[in-house]
Amino acid sequence: MSKNPPDTSNQIAALSEPDPWVLDPQVCREFSISAMTLWRWDHDEELVGMGLPPPVTIRKRKFRSRRGLEGFKKRIFEKAIRERGKPRRRPSEEQTVEPGPRPKK
């Protein structure tokens, strides 16, 4: 009895197709975030480590890889599902900032 190898032709075809590029405003709409939040994400080491694709700037317009974005979405959703139900960390009493005295008028 001979086993047939898995059909990888679809995977190979997908890799050989050009990767579409997505403008940052479209990325913001897909994630329901502002442009400032996307800028913060670009500077967040945790999100970059999870595969947030870096922007490619062409004439002052920023583009991102569609494949990279889809992979990033998959990883953040998997992380959210893993962490679902876990208690959230709250800042300790020492780290909270107490309001100072009000200035006199």
pLDDT(101) > 80 = no
Higher pLDDT: 91 or 32? It is: 32
Q: How confident is the model at residue 104 (pLDDT cuts 50, 70, 90)?
A: confident
| Burial bucket for residue 47 (CB in 10 Å: 0-12, 13-18, 19+) | middle
Domain ranges of the chain: 17-83
pTM above 0.85, yes or no: no
Q: How confident is the model at residue 35 (pLDDT cuts 50, 70, 90)?
A: very high
Per-residue confidence (pLDDT) for residue 18, from 0 to 100: 83
CA 50 to chain centre: 7
